[in-house]
Structure 1
Amino acid sequence: MSRVGRLRAEISAGWRSFARRRTAVFFTFLFPALLIVIFGALVRTDPGGGGLFAEPPAYYVPGYLAVVVLFTPLSRLGSEVARHREGNRFEKLATTPLTRGEWLFASTVVNAAIIGLASLLILGLVVALTGAGIAFSPLLVPYVVVGVVCFCGVGAMLGSYTDSRDGAVAASNAIGLPLLFLSETFVTAAQLPGWFEPLMALSPLTYFARGVRAATAPEVAGGGDPTVNLLVLSAFAVAFFALGARSIPRTD
């Protein structure tokens, strides 16, 4: 079987596996929607009022997108790799022409398709429920895709180095929650201690948030360049994808 055929078969199997899991479908599509309803429509933002959610609604669009761009790859890839290890599936994979990089690439394509659909739902709800004035920039597509590639690599590493599926999920939450709130998504840099600001540059999600904000709402983005942020995020994605593919065990 050719490489294209192998990838097509693995992508098809991955998509069917996701569609059969109702819990996964629920958390991927409905959980972000609930966040938007609670924080966007019920709590609402208070521009100029100080504290949390003191920015215009458009400021928080990257945060809502980050919920799926960050958590879905971390939890799905982490638990999937751990599940394959528990079932000795990588030992069987080693006897096939499908390489570890191809397996991770196919899983990343499935996640990109899922998260792309979820992102469309999120953007529609944000505009409808919060009245956020955003521009639908063509840069949104590469930002979502590159973000998925980056965090799929991280998820593969979590699944490779934790001892079980529960451990992989726990690790994804332990990493994902701090990143979600400390990467200029829902909390601005001005609301954090001054000494912490340089540490934000170590988070790939920071560049995702800054870039998406600059592309969709430049008036609230603080003058960031979306292209530069995309390039930095791409560098993170290449590095983490390579590390993720390398971390996947050949045998168990």
Structure 2
Amino acid sequence: MSRTGRVRAEATAAARSFLRRRTAVFFTFFFPVLLVLIFGVIVRSQGADGGLFALPPAYYVPGYLAVVVLFTPLSRVGSEVARHREGARFEKLATTPLSRAEWLLAQTLVNAGVIGLAALLIFALVIVATGANVGLGPATLLVVPYVFLGVVLFCGLGAVLGRIADSQDGVIAASNGVALPLLFLSETFVQPDLLPGWLPVWASPLTYFARGVRAVTYEPAGGSVASNLIVLAALAVVLFVAGAVAIPRTD
């Protein structure tokens, strides 16, 4: 079987496994939608003059997209690695032609498909529910590579967490421990002038995702689309390789 065939077969199996977990499917789409409704509709309806969620709704588009781009790959890939370790499945995979990088690529492609659909839903919901003034045009399509590279990056990080954690419960705890600080300290929901100057937001890969998506969807942002995309791509490659290396050959 060719490399493409091996990746396709593993991706098909991973997709079926995900779809059988109805709770996981539900919360993949429900959790970010709930955040949009709470913070984008209810909280903003109070009409604050400063602080959190006081900027135009379009400013927070990267934050809402970051929820699904960040949480889903970390928890899903990390849990898959932990599940395979507990079931001694990597020992069986070691006897097949499927490499660790191919296994991770298959998982990443499935996540990219699921998260792509969720991101499209969130994007549409933010525009409809919050009235966000997002300039739709050819440049808006640049959100697609940002989402894809974000998925690749956090799938790689999820694989690393799955190797480090000692159980599936440990993966969930670790992924939440990593994701929550990143979500609110990476120029997603909290604007830079509300963060302390000493905080190294540049060290968070999610910062480049947020800056790039905001430069595409929010005109006053004024950020560089190309430079943020390049940095995100480089980080995605590094973390994907790290994740592939972290996947054990045996359990």
Q: 2:147 aligns with which of 124, 144, 147?
A: 144
1:202 aligns with 2:203: yes
Q: Report the counterpart of residue 228 of structure 1 in structure 2.
A: 227
Work out the CA distance in 1 between the residues paired with 2:105 and 2:161: 16
1:56 aligns with 2:59: no
Q: Structure 1 residue 132: deviation in Å?
A: 0.1
Structure 2: state its 5+ residue gaps: none
The alignment's TM-score, normalised by the length of structure 1, stands at 0.96
Q: Structure 1 residue 48: deviation in Å?
A: 7.4
Q: Report the counterpart of residue 175 of structure 1 in structure 2.
A: 178
* Secondary structure of the structure 2 residue equivalent to 1:201: helix
CA RMSD of aligned residues (A): 1.1
Work out the CA distance in 2 between the residues paired with 1:135 and 1:80: 38
Q: Is the 8 A contact 1:47 1:55 kept in 2?
A: no
Work out the CA distance in 2 between the residues paired with 1:126 and 1:45: 14
Deviations 1:165-196 (A, max 9, x none): 00011000000000000000000111011111
Work out the CA distance in 2 between the residues paired with 1:47 and 1:84: 49
Work out the CA distance in 2 between the residues paired with 1:160 and 1:251: 11
Q: Aligned runs of 1:11-50 on 2, under 5 Å? A: 11-44=11-44, 49-50=49-50
Distance verdict in 2 for CA 1:45–1:143, change over 3 Å: farther
* Secondary structure of the structure 1 residue equivalent to 2:203: coil
Work out the CA distance in 2 between the residues paired with 1:119 and 1:208: 13
Q: Structure 1 residue 135: deviation in Å?
A: 2.6
Q: Report the counterpart of residue 83 of structure 1 in structure 2.
A: 83
Q: Is the 8 A contact 2:44 2:54 kept in 1?
A: no
- One-letter amino acid of the counterpart of residue 165, structure 1: Q
Q: Structure 1 residue 45: deviation in Å?
A: 6.6
Q: Is the 8 A contact 1:47 1:56 kept in 2?
A: no
Q: Is the 8 A contact 2:11 2:109 kept in 1?
A: yes
Q: Is the 8 A contact 1:77 1:159 kept in 2?
A: yes
Identity of aligned residues (%): 67
Work out the CA distance in 1 between the residues paired with 2:3 and 2:123: 35
Work out the CA distance in 1 between the residues paired with 2:40 and 2:203: 28
Q: Report the counterpart of residue 215 of structure 2 in structure 1.
A: 214
* Secondary structure of the structure 2 residue equivalent to 1:194: coil
Distance verdict in 2 for CA 1:210–1:249, change over 3 Å: same
1:249 aligns with 2:244: no
Q: Report the counterpart of residue 192 of structure 1 in structure 2.
A: 195
Work out the CA distance in 2 between the residues paired with 1:47 and 1:140: 29
Structure 1: state its 5+ residue gaps: none
Number of residue pairs matched?
A: 248
Q: Is the 8 A contact 1:47 1:53 kept in 2?
A: no
The alignment's TM-score, normalised by the length of structure 2, stands at 0.97
* Secondary structure of the structure 2 residue equivalent to 1:139: helix
* Secondary structure of the structure 1 residue equivalent to 2:198: helix
* Secondary structure of the structure 2 residue equivalent to 1:195: coil
- One-letter amino acid of the counterpart of residue 217, structure 1: Y
Q: Is the 8 A contact 1:63 1:209 kept in 2?
A: yes
Q: Structure 1 residue 235: deviation in Å?
A: 0.8
Q: Structure 1 residue 212: deviation in Å?
A: 0.1
Deviations 1:192-235 (A, max 9, x none): 11111xx100101000000000011122x1x2111110100111
Off by >3 Å, runs of 4+ in structure 1: 45-48
